[in-house]
Amino acid sequence: MALSGMRGLSVFISDVRNCHNKEQERLRVDKELGNIRTRFKNEKGLSPYEKKKYVWKMLYIYMLGYDVDFGHMETVSLISAPKYPEKQVGYIVTSCLLNENNDFLRMVINTVRNDIIGRNETFQCLALTMVGNIGGKEFSESLAPDVQKLLISSSCRPVVRKKAALCLLRLYRKNPDVVNIDGWADRMAQLLDERDLGVLTSVMSLFVSLVSNNAEAYWNCLPKCVRILERLARNQDIPQEYTYYGIPSPWLQVKTMRALQYFPTIEDPNARRALFEVLQRILMGTDVVKNVNKNNASHAVLFEALALVMHLDAEKEMMSQCVALLGKFIAVREPNIRYLGLENMTRMLLVTDVQDIIKRHQAQIITSLKDPDISIRRRALDLLYGMCDVTNAKEIVEELLQYLNTAEFAMREELSLKAAILAEKFAPDLSWYVDVILQLIDKAGDFVSDDIWYRVVQFVTNNEDLQPYAAAKAREYLDKPALHETMVKVSAYLLGEYGHLLARRPGCSPKELFAIINDKLPTVSTSTVAILLSTYAKILMHTQPPDVGLQQQILTIFKKYESYIDVEIQQRAVEYFELSRKGSALADVLAEMPKFPERESALLKKAEDAEVDTAEQSAIKLRSQQQTSSALVVADHPPANGSAPAANHLTLVKMPSQTISDTQESSVTYEEAPKENGAPLEVESITTNITEINNESKVEPPSTSHSASPADLLADLLGPLAIEGPPAVEQHPAQGLEAKQSSIGDLALATLEDQSNSVQPVVNVEEKFHILCTKDSGVLYEDPHIQIGLKAEWRAHHGRLVLFLGNKTTSPLMSVRALILPPSHLKMELSSVPDTIPPRAQVQVPLEVANLRASRDVAVLDFSYTFGTALVDANLRLPIVLNKFLQPITLSPEDFFPQWKALTVHSLKIQEVVKGVKPMPLPEMANLLMSLHLAFAPGLDNNPNNMVACTTFFSEATRAMLCLVRVETDPQDRTQLRLTVASGDQHLTFELKEFIKEHLIDIPRIQAAPPPALVQPQLPAAAPATYNDPGAMLAGLL
């Protein structure tokens, strides 16, 4: 493509390159496009040189990213030119500008066919290149027979046959039905005898594609492939131009071994022996050298050889040699080689009799868990999980638990699940299993699914000898100052059932157990409150002789929750209160739990669902998949018989998109039991029949599922969706007006504009927002048509959120739009949202967040969609608040006081007397501070009525900034306190002080006026509802 003679084109390119900004470039391009359009209107006056020049300019403009929507006819007409320069321009520019569905291509099919069947080899190459680049059904139907003839022709030069093979491969991939390959087995066998390595490499690419769809038809080609490998391994008759850094045609070697993996086995003993000799030569001759290019080529051949050895199930001696070679690779410094070594060693686990050999490298694999590259750490985790058995389970699980302390958020969920599965499968004794699960919950509570603690409860219940030990361990964990809510659940459950077995131990009397559990009650969620109420009833039942003071405390709590808004907690409190007054009836109903029936572990089922395929199946999938999407959608696939799908059956499908997804989950199916009142269906719900309360307390307590895996979280969010339409909401007398008034959260739905939607939320959006301010996963919004869930991960000043948009109906949601309105202190990037969400489907939309500086402003999600003729628009506040960028830190007195004294500037240390504080005991206030990611430091202040807390704030401006907080309370008046906040940035100090102050002030909730037609029921006056975000309400009042 000699452009030096086209002065006008050179000047135009120079002008574009000299533009100082994008606007100047656009003006210059628009001027040139106008000139080209004018000249093309008088096409007859254009010389071939001018037409060629303008078409080159159009291509350059198109390469700059501008739309070129004219001149296609002039471009296509150049293909029919008799001279090479014009024809070359026509073919090249047509390949770039037009796709396979463009109508202009029909005009040149005959011209292209004439060039292919003609005798001018240059024109043949141009035509084959364009057809191979564009493809398309019409080209396949019209030109495939002519391309096949060129490929098998003995009179064509190798350069033409190479292009013919690749062109036929493209046509076959795009439209396998229209390319006639009947009887091609014998032709392929002849083509594999080709001596020219260029033609042979192109033919082998075609052969790999053919044999991947129908290996049975090409058995006669198998000895030919072995012969090709022998020729390459012995470096026989290999031209110098096909030798890459001393390796004979590595591309052909890789393709040939890949083709052999599609055959089930090799029956011919001579061919099998010859192939193993070649593989042995490759294994022995590969080593790590300093030359990067040679390393890449030799290792590409080596790892394909390893895959072939595993596929053929070679002798144990060769397998041992492969493992030893991989063991050497995982110890080198080059990260790419370590990654490939770990990945292939994981595949080797699928082969029998090599696991003991792989165990010899266990120490090096554990070292890889600490590698700086997260991809290598993931492969090391997969390998440790696969190689674990009863002989090394204890050591591997202990290493995983130790690694859990430093693992990043992206791996903790997977790490927790695999550690729990290994502990269950290979536990040497059940007490060790209990220790492991409790440590797991303590270290990674947010990433531990409820299935894990459900399972440990089943084990403890079914093994009487284990019950005192499990209860004692649960009691020990309750002494910790900071405890995850999942640990509170499991500890309370175990102590409620088996705490009486510890009655003679110090610190384990019923009164002491009640006191330490009751300290956690003010800070837990609704589902945990239900468990704690059952625990109190059990403690009361086991207290012999009865303790009047303890009984009065517990009954007071039951009485308090009789008017609670949640119907399950309300029902438990009422029934437990009545049972407690009947004396012996309580012991009969709340008798000790019977043993659980034997059933398959939910964790093991997860592991089976996530099992990797065999090496050859993985290879086939990777080679045959045409990835065209990145939007991950969960949808119900209707069965073939047309019956309605189960409400809990979801599958992952792909949505069209412009980017390529890095997940390979399009065929994985996730199932989850439907839920009632937040509990799995396998867990019996509380009924009004008092005799069934013991059955209710038998099962696993309700799940909040804050730390489920991404796929499980999707199932949780879509679990209760009804195919027939929105679920009917049953109004209970105690809910009545409250449900009507607060179904729309006035503060969580941002008041940016008047929202006159006919469709209203079915959940309290305000409450969901405030829950997500302290949790990292849950439901953000729900109406009769859609459910929006959220899951977040935070690391320093960066955050990654995933919005789950779930269609609850049997009709598609159209015109879906999501726009982020970020505050000035946040940098946010939302991935594209598909315009349509299919019926019963769910879309994942990632959102990246970076914190620039401290602020209490929140981002708003402007979300809208169309259902039928109704337009639904909602502005939702996103729970990206200040405490998300705080990391608790514990300081000793030696570290704390120098920092506190150093911050003497008034603007860096702000003190304020806060009045109107919500009265609360000191433990509850400490739990409140810890929920805001402030580490409570007991003992630093000599005054027992004062508290000191420390944290680190992360932002792009301040990086890691230490923050110190002191709260001085007045024991005579709990409604006021003195708050002191200090940090190295005055803006951060003020914002953090105001943020803490907002959570301490008790602001009465303003009730909305009820609709005229609504009869207001009598609500108990004992429990007035309050906003969870007083600061937001204070801002509204001011």
DSSP letter string, 288-334? --S-HHHHHHHHHHHHHHHHHHHHHT--HHHHHHHHHHHHHHTTSS-
- Give the pLDDT of residue 879: 92
Among candidate residues 357, 363, 307, the one with its CA nearest the CA of residue 331: 363
CA 696-702-708 angle, 5° bins: 145
Among candidate residues 830, 815, 816, the one with its CA nearest the CA of residue 860: 830
Cα–Cα distance, 416 to 700 (Å, whole number): 20
Bridge partners of residue 760, in order along the sequence: none
pLDDT at 788 over 90: yes
Q: Which pLDDT band, with edges at 50, 70 and 90, does 739 fall under? A: very low
- Collapsed DSSP state (helix, strand, coil) of residue 428: coil
158, 199 contact by CB (below 8 A): yes
The pLDDT > 70 percentage for the chain reads: 80
- Give the pLDDT of residue 832: 85
963, 884 contact by CB (below 8 A): no
pLDDT at 266 over 90: no
Which of 267-271, 617-621, 1003-1007 is modeled with the greatest confidence? 267-271
Residue labelled with tokens 């770039």: 96
CA 56-61-64 angle, 5° bins: 130
Would you call 323 exposed, middle or buried from its count of C-beta atoms within 10 A (0-12, 13-18, 19+)?
Answer: buried
Q: Which pLDDT band, with edges at 50, 70 and 90, does 237 fall under? A: confident
Cα–Cα distance, 344 to 302 (Å, whole number): 11
793, 906 contact by CB (below 8 A): no
Greater pLDDT, 710 or 203: 203
715, 650 contact by CB (below 8 A): yes
- Give the pLDDT of residue 126: 92
Q: Which pLDDT band, with edges at 50, 70 and 90, does 27 fall under? A: very high
- Give the pLDDT of residue 609: 60
Greater pLDDT, 395 or 605: 395
Tens of pLDDT, residues 644-660: 333 333 333 333 333 33
> Which pairs from 403-407 meet CB under 8 Å and 24+ separation?
403/369, 403/370, 404/440, 404/443, 404/444, 405/443, 407/377
The amino acid that residue 989 corresponds to is T
Choose the weakest-confidence range: 292-301, 371-380, 695-704, 836-845: 695-704
Q: Which helix (H) or strand (E) holds 376?
A: helix 374-387
- Give the pLDDT of residue 529: 92
Handedness of CA 950, 954, 957, 959 (dihedral sign): positive
- Give the pLDDT of residue 352: 65
The mean per-residue pLDDT over the stretch 936-963 comes to: 87
pLDDT at 622 over 70: no
Cα–Cα distance, 324 to 322 (Å, whole number): 5
- Token pair for 192: 């594999």
Residue 73 has a CB neighbour count (10 Å cut-off) of 11
- Give the pLDDT of residue 717: 32
254, 304 contact by CB (below 8 A): yes
The mean per-residue pLDDT over the stretch 957-985 comes to: 87
The pLDDT > 90 percentage for the chain reads: 15
- Give the pLDDT of residue 307: 87
- Give the pLDDT of residue 269: 83
Q: Which pLDDT band, with edges at 50, 70 and 90, does 939 fall under? A: confident
Residue labelled with tokens 């029936």: 597
Cα–Cα distance, 22 to 441 (Å, whole number): 54
Cα–Cα distance, 24 to 174 (Å, whole number): 41
Q: What is the dihedral of CA 707, 709, 715, 717, to 10 degrees?
A: 40
- Give the pLDDT of residue 194: 87
- Give the pLDDT of residue 658: 35
Tens of pLDDT, residues 556-595: 999 999 888 889 999 999 988 888 877 666 777 777 777 7
The mean per-residue pLDDT over the stretch 968-991 comes to: 88
- Give the pLDDT of residue 715: 35
Greater pLDDT, 466 or 265: 466
Residue labelled with tokens 């970020």: 822
Cα–Cα distance, 574 to 914 (Å, whole number): 38
Tens of pLDDT, residues 821-842: 889 889 998 888 888 998 888 8
Cα–Cα distance, 831 to 287 (Å, whole number): 43
- Token pair for 934: 């402030």
Average pLDDT, the chain: 77
Tens of pLDDT, residues 279-313: 888 888 777 777 888 888 888 898 888 888 888 87
pLDDT at 606 over 70: no
Residues 6+ apart with CB under 8 A from 567: 677, 732, 734, 735
Cα–Cα distance, 153 to 997 (Å, whole number): 85
Q: Which pLDDT band, with edges at 50, 70 and 90, does 965 fall under? A: very high
The amino acid that residue 647 corresponds to is A
Greater pLDDT, 1002 or 990: 990
700, 679 contact by CB (below 8 A): yes
- Collapsed DSSP state (helix, strand, coil) of residue 779: strand
pLDDT at 889 over 50: yes
Tens of pLDDT, residues 441-453: 888 877 888 888 8
Residue 452 has a CB neighbour count (10 Å cut-off) of 24
Cα–Cα distance, 776 to 780 (Å, whole number): 11
Residues 6+ apart with CB under 8 A from 1007: 741
Residues 6+ apart with CB under 8 A from 265: 312
pLDDT at 849 over 90: yes
| Residue 40 phi, psi (nearest 5) | -70, -20
The amino acid that residue 499 corresponds to is G
**Phi-psi group of 834: left, alpha or beta (phi > 0 → left; psi -120 to 50 → alpha; rest → beta):** beta
- Give the pLDDT of residue 681: 33
Tens of pLDDT, residues 37-67: 888 887 777 888 888 888 999 999 999 998 8
Bridge partners of residue 652, in order along the sequence: 634
Bridge partners of residue 805, in order along the sequence: 788, 843
Q: Which pLDDT band, with edges at 50, 70 and 90, does 915 fall under? A: confident
Radius of gyration (C-alpha) of the chain in whole angstroms: 35
Q: Which helix (H) or strand (E) holds 551?
A: helix 548-560
The mean per-residue pLDDT over the stretch 760-776 comes to: 88
Cα–Cα distance, 127 to 760 (Å, whole number): 60
The mean per-residue pLDDT over the stretch 208-218 comes to: 86
- Collapsed DSSP state (helix, strand, coil) of residue 680: strand
Residue 277 has a CB neighbour count (10 Å cut-off) of 15
Distances (CA, A) of 571 to 534, 563, 565, 575, 905: 11, 9, 10, 6, 55
The mean per-residue pLDDT over the stretch 197-226 comes to: 89
Residue labelled with tokens 């401006």: 957
- Give the per-residue SS3 of 486-515: HHHHHHHHHHHHHHHHHCCCCCCCHHHHHH
- Give the pLDDT of residue 5: 61
> Which pairs from 513-520 meet CB under 8 Å and 24+ separation?
513/475, 513/539, 514/539, 514/550, 514/553, 514/554, 516/475, 516/478, 516/479, 517/478, 517/488, 517/491, 517/492, 518/553, 518/557, 519/923, 520/478, 520/483, 520/488, 520/492, 520/927
Q: Which pLDDT band, with edges at 50, 70 and 90, does 1033 fall under? A: very low
- Give the pLDDT of residue 897: 84
Residue labelled with tokens 């020990």: 476
CA 181-183-185 angle, 5° bins: 90
- Token pair for 62: 């198109």
Residue-wise DSSP of 172-231: HHH-TTTS--TTHHHHHHHHTT---HHHHHHHHHHHHHHHHH-GGGGGGGHHHHHHHHHH
The mean per-residue pLDDT over the stretch 761-777 comes to: 88
